[in-house]
Amino acid sequence: MKFGPVPVAEAAGCIAAHTVRAGAAIVKKGAAITPADVARLREAGLSEVVAVRLEAGDIGENEAATRLAAALAGRGVVTEAAFTGRVNLFAATPGVLTIDADAIDRLNRVDEAITAATLPLMKPVVAGEMVGTVKIIPYGLPATLVEDALAGLRAAKPVAVSAYRPLAVGVISTLLPGLKPSVVDKTLRVMAERLAPAEARVAADLRVPHQEAPLAEAIAAQAKTADMVVVFGASAITDRRDVIPQALLAAGGRIEHLGMPVDPGNLLLIGELAGKPVLGAPGCARSPKENGFDWVLQRFLAGIPVTRDDIQAMGVGGLLMEIVSRPQPRAPAHLEAAPVAGLVLAAGRSTRMGEANKLLQTVRGKPMLRHAVEAQLASCARPVIVVTGHQREAVAQALDGLEVQLVHNPDFASGLAGSVKAGLAALPETATGVVVSLGDMPNVTSAVIDRLAQVFAESAEALAVVPTLLGQRGNPVLLSRALFAEVAKLDGDQGARRLLDAAGEALMEVPLDDPAIALDIDTPEALAAVKG
């Protein structure tokens, strides 16, 4: 191919390298120059144009792009007509985009004249969505280059769409006392919305105790009737010996992999029973926001197997968004400017538990209360104050060795309000806010407390910060010192909730994908469940 100035008298049959405007004559970029164009250009006084002349053995850009695009387009992909050296590829069906990345790389390495680009591997696509494009840079190129590029594809069709299948998905939710039915209901609605693009459906909605035996029975039953089983746990999976993995094994299934290098989505379990995929969903899967669960679910819906190697290869690009359940790296500097204290309420009589003081019951090898206090101590909150009341000596003994300040509420029998007042009165003046925790919520982590503190530090207007799970408020809550004047209005069992109402529009809600913020231990049944 020759490129450069050409006398107008010799330009017929050449390709205009640029748009030419001379008098009434216009020849557009990329257009073949005709004898009539030559005559008009000469009449306008033009002596030469920058043009392209194809030589023996060359082919034009459109022909080259058409041949290459046809070699790239595999199952579920169609191409459009070539234009200006470009051919676009489109999904012919909804599904998941599969790509032989090595083949695309080989094609792009043949010569700088040839380029191919695609959407990311394994991206979910809809019918009619552009999934790739072939662009030839010059107006023509040697046919041998195109042949080399085609040979490099090795007869493969590297760009394809695996179509979704209308699967029946059995959904199992495990329950712990204190987990509101509305949370499970919303989870099911979110799951149905995830399945809709694939025309898949929730075929069963089973709700069983968060215990190995009933869950194993439910998994086995669903594996017989559904195409896939998804388990939403009332408590996150943290180990292969946890309830959901063990229930899968007890049902006769196997674990393929636990965990994934995608955030949100770390605590995902994939396994199999009777040839059916079984997924233990991470807590973030209760939210409609994209997370690692989506990546795996979409592949299974499209009939693409997901192995341990596939999961472990998801790390690059696996940080999907701000991780709302953790403080960001910049948080500590902000928190120095807006220090918060910690307050744990541990004065109640726990009448619904019976004669035993629930806060002193053993959970995971230590008193329940100690878990809540240690979470505060592991957070940015300082100092940490614990309000005692009922069985104050035993409560103090349960916290032996922890660097906390104990404040006794002699009026503990009158309700929660007295404990809130006692705790806030003991705060140092340097504390601009306080994170109020309940002693009967042993699963709340320091990450949740730090997240609330971070949001408070970064907002000049917030009077209170509260975590939410699927739109439902949970605990702990953060209160600004500006609200402390409202404490005098508290009475009986009114606590931080009354102060949240006083915050009005200055209340900030922080969505978290953590069921622990909604689980408190009020009954013997709840205690037995959390003990596992």
d(C-alpha 244, C-alpha 308), whole Å: 18
Q: Is the pLDDT of residue 327 over 70?
A: no
Under the banding of pLDDT at 50, 70 and 90, the label for residue 417 is confident
**pLDDT at residue number 13:** 83
**Amino acid letter, residue 73:** A
Q: Which domains does the chain have, with CATH numbers?
A: 2-53 (3.90.105.10), 58-163 (3.90.1170.30), 168-312 (3.40.980.10), 331-531 (3.90.550.10)
Q: Does the pLDDT at position 111 exceed 60?
A: yes
Task: Give the tens place of pLDDT for each residue, 6-16.
Answer: 888 888 888 88
Q: How far is it, in rounded angstroms, from Cα 230 to Cα 435?
A: 35
CB atoms within 10 A of CB 4: 10
Is 60 exceeded by the pLDDT of residue 446? yes
Structure tokens at 514: 């953590």
Q: Residue 496 — pLDDT band, cuts 50, 70, 90?
A: low
- For residue 529, pLDDT over 80 is answered with no
d(CA 153, CA 68): 9
Select the highest-mean-pLDDT range: 332-341, 441-450, 465-474.
441-450
Residue range 278-294: average pLDDT?
Answer: 90
Question: Which range among 350-364, 437-451, 492-506 shows the weakest confidence by mean pLDDT?
Answer: 492-506
Burial of 479 (0-12, 13-18, 19+ CB in 10 A): buried
Query: How does pLDDT run across 467-482, given as a tens digit for each residue?
Result: 988 778 889 999 998 8
The model's pTM is 0.66
Comparing CA positions, the residue from 452, 426, 403 lying closest to residue 347 is 426
Rg of the chain over all Cα atoms, to the nearest angstrom = 33
